[in-house]
Amino acid sequence: MPRLTVDNLQARRRAILDGARRCFARDGYEGATVRRLEQEIGLSRGAIFHHFRDKESLFFAVAEDDAAEMSEVVAKHGLVELMRDLKNRDAGWLGVQLELSRRLRTDPDFRERWALRSKTISDAARDRLRRGVERGTLRTDVPVETIAAFLELVLDGLVLHRAMGVSDDDLDAVLDLVESTVRRDGF
């Protein structure tokens, strides 16, 4: 069997993450058996677990991959823009977010491991909000921590709404309202 190049290994890792995301979203963590992962990804367990130690590591990598992408969007464009982007997210992403929430609620070891990863999104949001205060575009009568907590709660609610299949016809108007509540000139 020929050796895979670095590019091929990265492409295979990406394919594994994408397939695992679909499987975890559809079947949940417990339902995403190794057999189902193999079928969804189209690779053997040996090929899958060459890249990831076990199913837990694979799920963590999927969630971590999503968190890194979310942190990038938040750092560049803010939490409201991430919320606006929700209508472009596929069911796999939404399903993994719900499964992540469940695991955080029910698995203390997972919650502890995840704490450092989730901090990157929170830090990116708070840094962006502080820059908004410094530029004079965000309200100053409410602490940045409170604004960040508000926006994170709205984001969590929107993820839940999207995952439940609730119509997002009014999403832009709702997010305009959310954005106006944190802007200096918004009230």
DSSP string for 72-130? HHHHHH-HHHHHHGGGG--HHHHHHHHHHHHHHHH-HHHHHHHHHHHHHHHHHHHHHHH
| Cα–Cα nearest to 121, from 78, 179, 57 | 78
Written as six digits, the tokens of 7 are 């590019």
Collapsing DSSP to helix, strand or coil, 177 comes out as helix
Q: How would you write the pLDDT of the chain (187 residues) with one tens digit per residue? A: 556 677 788 888 999 999 999 998 888 888 999 999 999 999 999 989 889 999 999 999 999 888 888 888 888 888 888 888 887 877 778 888 888 888 889 999 989 888 877 888 888 889 999 999 999 999 999 999 999 999 999 988 888 887 777 777 888 898 999 999 999 875 4
- Other Cβ atoms less than 10 A from the Cβ of 87: the count is 13
Domain boundaries, the chain: 6-186
pTM of the model: 0.79
- Which residue in the block uniquely carries the two structure tokens 């409201």? 80
Class of domain 6-186: mainly alpha
